[in-house]
Amino acid sequence: MNPSEMEGSRSYDAVVVGSGPNGLAAAVKLAQAGLSVAVFESRVTVGGGTSTAELTLPGFRHDVFSAVHPLAVASPFLRTLPLAEHGLEWIHSPAPLAHPLDDGTAILLERSVEATARNLERDARSYKKLVEPLVGHWDDLAADMLRPLSFPSRPLLFSRFGLRAIRSASGLAETAFAGPRARALFAGLGAHSIMPLDRLGSAAIGLVMCVTAHAVGWPIAKGGSQRIAEALAAYLRTLKAEVVTGAAIGSVQKLPKARIILLDVTPRQLLQMVQGFPDEYRRKLERYRYGPGAFKVEWALNGPIPWRAADCQRAATVHLGGTLQEIVKAESGIWRDKHAEKPFVFLTQQSLFDPTRAPEGKHMAGAYCHVPNGSNVDMTAAIEAQVERFAPGFRDRILKTNKMPPAELERLNANCIGGDIAGGIQNLRRLMQTSLRGSPYVTPVAGIYVCSSSTPPGAGVHGMCGYHAAVAALRQLS
């Protein structure tokens, strides 16, 4: 359906633009409340950041964006939905994460705290002390964390987390741990914050990644991340909602009539799509800061990656970057417009655990590193050198490579501005600004709401931005 066909077509209680996990979660919440809902997605498939495609060779199914989903299984909203009935199956690798080192060993982040601690030699006790109390209360923590900042329901527990989370990832790693293994492991986890690791607040995501590995695991979706979106869309259709793909919305004026409109877009697109914002709000949107971009590579392989540390084959996710010092250096340079010679690499090897991802006997893997926003530098050789460093002979297994620089990520998903995978910088300042001044989902134009990962609780496949935006919209309707 093109926009001109939509004008004058039927009307809805609610229209959602964008079918990322947040758009779909918002639509589900609204449809569950009995509203008539339509979702309009510019791409031919639903899913936004949860998308799978044969990017290299036929039969090799690559996750185009998100690959590993601790926050989806931890999500207080997604957990309530019957997604398994609509085809979603989670696969857990035996260990969530491996982090190889140059001495030929790997640190394994295991499902069990005890087993992980055993990997960390003299830091075993410190690791348990840091992590165990949080793992035991993850459900309570998740409920407070995966929503806009507000007074926590479990203040003591939350302050235990918050006092550590507010620190820098490198500061926390260096004071909590004495040895290089635990420090390197935590630095790699902290790098998911997409912040310089010596910046206050960068420990928060590191802690969340660490605790979720034990509490809920880091699963991949059988068949690819696209299955998450397909299951959400299938459930949504059972609630009588409509999902329209191939419908790029340039302006909200072009949408069918609706009482409320929820936009799964970032501030830059919001400015283009909605006229009539007051100057102050418009300036706020113009000042909104995007974070570094990502450079992503996918490979079709003629065998599994030949890790020097064989334990790396037990984990779907592998962090490549060596020591804490190296990771800190690689991640901080990006904020000064530098490309790391030895980038910190987030690698996933789904086909080791999900045979549907590659033809028999063959394998696929994907990896990305952070780069300055909008970078044009080809990081393929640097990423492959990091894999080769820990898996000599890796390059010989490559059948085909697919490169996705920031511009390609943005072409495939308009929300990846300059290759930013998080919908904006995820720092403490933004968290405070978006959360303490009224609802971050409500715009000054009546009936128009934002529901993307540019709103709290931010990036990740959890659908909680969409859920909270829908709740805010329903509150204003009633």
Ligand X SMILES: Cc1cc2nc3c(=O)[nH]c(=O)nc-3n(C[C@H](O)[C@H](O)[C@H](O)COP(=O)(O)OP(=O)(O)OC[C@H]3O[C@@H](n4cnc5c(N)ncnc54)[C@H](O)[C@@H]3O)c2cc1C
3-state secondary structure (DSSP) of residue 365: strand
Residue 58 neighbours by CB distance under 10 Å: 8
Name the residue with tokens 């492991």. 185
Q: Which is nearer to ligand X, 29 or 181 (CB)?
A: 29
| Token code pair at residue 133 | 């109390």
Beta carbons within 10 angstroms of residue 84's beta carbon: 10
Total interface residues for ligand X by CB under 6 A: 41
- What residues between 362 and 421 interact with ligand X by CB under 6 A? 368, 409, 413-416, 421
Q: Shortest gap between Cβ of 360 and ligand X (angstroms)?
A: 26
Which of these segments, 67-75, 139-147, 152-160, 198-206, binds ligand X (CB under 6 A)?
67-75
67 touches ligand X (CB under 6 A): yes
| Closest CB 12 distance from ligand X, rounded Å | 15
* Tokens of residue 268, six digits: 């830059």
**Residue 163: partners with Cβ closer than 8 Å, 6 or more residues away:** none
Residue from 6, 41, 260, 402 in contact with ligand X (CB under 6 A): 41
Closest by alpha carbon to 266, among 434, 142, 145? 434
Binding of residue 345 to ligand X (CB under 6 A): no
Nearest to 97 by CA among 226, 222, 192, 228: 192
Binding residues for ligand X restricted to 250-279, rule: CB under 6 A: 264-265, 269
Give the Cα separation of 353 and 240 in Å (integer).
35
Question: Shortest Cβ distance from residue 393 to ligand X (Å)?
Answer: 26
65/307 with CB nearer ligand X: 65
- Minimum CB–partner distance for residue 374 and ligand X (Å): 14
Residue 430 is a binding residue for ligand X (CB under 6 A): no
**438, exposed or middle or buried, with CB in 10 Å at 0-12, 13-18, 19+?**
exposed
Give the interface segment with ligand X, choosing from 68-76, 135-143, 209-217, 276-284 (CB under 6 A). Answer: 68-76
What residues does 91 pair with on adjacent strands? 220
If the CB atoms of residues 40 and 127 are measured against ligand X, the closer one turns out to be 40
SS3 295: strand
Nearer to ligand X (CB atom), residue 274 or residue 358: 274
Sites of contact with ligand X (CB under 6 A): 17-23, 40-43, 48-50, 65-69, 71, 248-249, 264-265, 269, 294, 296, 368, 409, 413-416, 421, 423, 452-453, 459-461, 465
